[in-house]
Amino acid sequence: MKIVTSASDLPHGCAFVPTMGALHSGHQSLFSLAAEKSQKVLVSIFVNPLQFENYDDLAKYPRTPERDTQLAEEAGVTHLWLPRHEEIYPKGFAKLSAGPLGEMYEGAARPGHFDGVVTVVSRLFDLVRPRYAIFGEKDFQQLLLIRKIGSDVEIISAPTIRESDGLALSSRNARLDSDARARATVIARALYAAVAAPDHGSARSAMREVISTEPSFTLDYSQVIDEENFSDATEVTVNARAIIAGWLNGIRLIDNMAMKPRGQ
C-alpha cells in the first residue's frame, strides 16, 4: 500500500473511499466494494473541520492513525491518502451550500454540517478525479446530498454493516462505554419494529414506543421518509425509509433502515 502525502501523487480514475479515519469493518466493506470496481483503491483520511458544528465534537472525534493504516492495508487498499489541511482548503477556497435538503434532519440538528460535507467531498473529487466513489447508507442524508453534487463520479452506495445485536457500525461507537453500548441497541430495535409494522403510521408509533423503553436515549427525531427527498412518507413504497437520531451519553447516534412494502 502506498501512502500518499501529496495530491500530485494521487491515482486518478480509481475507486475512491473518502473517510475521516477511526476505520472499522463497516469501512472495510466499502473498500471491498471499491476493489470490485477498480484495481486502484484510494482511501483518504481527513477529519474535516468544516463539518463539525462545534469544537468539542471535532476534538473528541476518535483518531486511530496506526490502526487505520494496518486495517486499510489488510483490506487491500492500494493507496492511502493523508491530505494536509492547506491542500484541501487553500486560501480563498469556496464553501458550498448543501441547499434546503441540507437543513433538514441531521442538518437541522447540526447547522452547517452538510455544507461542510459537500464542500470537502467536491474538493476531494476535484483533486482525485476518481471514476467511482463509495459511501455507506448509514449516513443516508449525506449519501443523497453527495449524489446531488453533480460530478461525473459514479457514486456507489454500500449497505450498513451491523453488529449481531443490530447496532450499526460507526466510528462514534468507540466513544460508548460498555453500558451505553448495550443501551444503544434501542435504535436498531426501533428500526426493526418500524420495518415490521403494517403501515407508515404504525411504523412511526412503533419506533416511538421502543425508544420510550430506553430513557437514557434522548430522541432527536424518528420518522418514515421518502428517501428521494426526505419528505414524510405517506405510504410504504420502495422509497420509504425509517430514520432515527438522538444522543446517548452526549454522543450523537444515527441510523436508518429501508421499509418493506407489503408483500415484499
The only residue of 29, 48, 119, 223 in contact with ligand PAF, by rule CB under 6 A: 48
| Least CB distance to ligand PAF at residue 11 (A) | 18
CA distances from 138 to 81, 128, 144 (A): 23, 24, 11
Q: How many residues bind ligand PAF (CB under 6 A)?
A: 10
Between 117 and 197, whose beta carbon lies closer to ligand PAF? 117
Answer for which of 19, 78, 222, 256 binds ligand PAF (CB under 6 A) is: 19
Sequential DSSP letters for 1-23: -EEE-SGGG--TT-EEEEE-S--
Q: Which stretch binds ligand PAF (CB under 6 A): 35-43, 115-123, 149-157, 229-237?
A: 115-123
Q: Which of 42, 75, 117, 168 binds ligand PAF (CB under 6 A)?
A: 117
The size of the chain, in residues, is 264
Catalytic site residue from 27, 79, 113, 200: 27
Q: How far apart are CB 93 and ligand PAF at their closest, in Å?
A: 15
Half-sphere CA count of 232, side-chain side, radius 13 A: 8
Tracing cell 435538503 back to the chain, one arrives at 101
Say if residues 158 and 136 touch (Cβ distance below 8 Å).
Answer: yes
Q: Which of 14, 42, 104, 121 binds ligand PAF (CB under 6 A)?
A: 121
Is 79 catalytic? The answer is: no
What is the C-alpha to C-alpha distance for residues 173 and 203, in angstroms, rounded to an integer?
A: 26
Q: Which of 10, 11, 16, 18 binds ligand PAF (CB under 6 A)?
A: 18
Residues 133-192 that bind ligand PAF (CB under 6 A): 139, 142
Handedness of CA 137, 138, 141, 145 (dihedral sign): negative
- CB neighbour list of residue 37: distance below 8 Å, 6 or more residues apart: 15, 131, 132, 134, 156
Which residues are known catalytic residues? 27
Binding residues for ligand PAF (CB under 6 A): 18-20, 48, 51, 117, 120-121, 139, 142
